[in-house]
Amino acid sequence: MEKIRTTVRIAGHDYTLSSYDPEAHVQRVAKYVDRMIGDLTLATRLPAAQVAVLTAMNVADDMVKARDEVARLRQENAELKQQLENIARGGK
């Protein structure tokens, strides 16, 4: 599979990125980051470097919470599957 080059605009700067992901996905991610940077810039009035670090922390926080939720849902799914198998065998 060949990498796709995509130019995105984040915080007023253009970046050309190479990725195996479709261009639409890369643009979506860039818009998310741009929006978060913009929101923090307006809310905090911090220097760009600090806004970038806070944005990275917020994105990482979102990712960790999402991974935790996926793990919780997988566990719940496994438990429900086990309950269904027990019911199908005539037990509880």
* pLDDT tens for each residue of 17-61: 999 999 999 999 999 999 999 999 999 989 999 999 999 999 999
Phi and psi, residue 28, nearest 5°: -65, -45
Residue 11 pLDDT more than 70?
yes
DSSP 47: -
pLDDT band at residue 1 under the 50/70/90 scheme: confident
Whole-prediction pTM: 0.80
DSSP 20: S
Give the pLDDT of residue 26.
Answer: 98
